[in-house]
Structure 1
């Protein structure tokens, strides 16, 4: 696999080696040993999640203030614009974001470590989004930062569909109002 740091070095793009021919393709979507080498520490995933969303659905920017989750995310059908925001107050990249398109064709994955808010926008007609997490979902500790916080200024792509957000995502706080990591 090929591992490339983003503008925020703790967030990594992971590209598996894809073997394809007229029958289709094969790739190893996860290898614990190789992944640990790539991130420079042992990472244990405890939960796998799968969401399907229609075009224009924007989920995020989510995080858990306790039981923080690192996430290894990918798309197996469709395409999304995926975003990670550094919300570690002591980090030199605090408040900065990185984003990239994840698609069923490019097979790219994004490693979003603990201490980041995460979200995505579906840019295809629909998308199946898979992600592994390093801790269990803990609704009591879940938080949401506004997807359109002007201080973060995520440059979401323009799509020919109305945005659809959950009530929770519509009520997201600004970074300056949110509880964040030290």
Structure 2
């Protein structure tokens, strides 16, 4: 197995629609999947799409448990219902930045596993968000393209600093409101 080079925002491979995988069991696809899983774990990602490692094919890997990983080949994803939720996302192809993105809260997915067997199911919450994010990569879409409020896009360090300062301000305000009034002489 090998750690693969991750394409960064601006590289054309990230902006094209990926091609279907003809045979998920082909040796080169099995090797790609193993390398992608190793790369995802090394980079501490939650998911990784083939275009992110310069391979324009329709597959992505994702974390499935504390140390495990799974693959979805030629995925099809559709929302279940109209409910959306906003959440912060990062991307291995856009290092150091995060943004708040609205995504379907629940999705239905189908595709193939690494053995070429059909898989399908539903997901919600973080898993649904990861699937949608990775599937977007297969269509040449990066998460900032989904954002409707760019004031919620920034460097991870700055966003964390601002959140900590806000929490500190709220904590200080709550302490002041809860503190008993000083007796008057």
TM-score by length of 1: 0.25
Name the larger-Rg structure.
Answer: 2
Specify which structure has the higher proportion of strand: 1
TM-score of the aligned structures, taking structure 2 as reference length? 0.25
Higher relative contact order (CA 8 A, sep 6+): 1
Q: Name the structure with the higher helix share.
A: 2
